[in-house]
Chain A
Amino acid sequence: QVQLVESGGGVVQPGRSLRLSCAASGFTFSDYGMHWVRQAPGKGLEWVAGIWYDGSNKYYPDSVKGRFTISRDNSKNTLSLQMNSLRAEDTAVYYCARDLEAGSTFVLDYWGQGTLVTVSS
Chain B
Amino acid sequence: SYELTQPLSVSVALGQTARITCGGNKIGSKNVHWYQQRPGQAPVLVTYRNSNRPSGIPARFSGSNSGNTATLTISRAQAGDEGDYYCQVWDSRTSVVFGGGTKLTVL
Residues of A that sit less than 8 Å from B by CB:
35, 37, 44-47, 50, 59-61, 95, 100, 105-114
Q: Are A44 and B95 in contact (CB under 8 A)?
A: no
Find chain B residues with CB under 8 A from A108 CB. Answer: 33, 35, 43, 45, 88
Interface range on chain B (Cβ under 8 Å from partner): 20 to 34
Find chain B residues with CB under 8 A from A113 CB. Answer: 41-42
Which secondary structure characterizes the binding site on chain A?
strand
Tell me whether A106 and B101 are in contact in the complex, defined as CB-CB below 8 angstroms, given that A100-B48, A111-B43 are known contacts. no
Q: Are A106 and B35 in contact (CB under 8 A)?
A: no
Which secondary structure characterizes the binding site on chain B?
strand
A38 CA to B27 CA in the complex, in Å?
24
Find chain B residues with CB under 8 A from A50 CB. Answer: 95-96
Min distance, Cβ A38 to any Cβ of chain B, angstroms: 11
Closest to B41 in A: A113
A101 CA to B7 CA in the complex, in Å?
30
Min distance, Cβ B47 to any Cβ of chain A, angstroms: 10
A95 CA to B42 CA in the complex, in Å?
8
A88 CA to B94 CA in the complex, in Å?
23
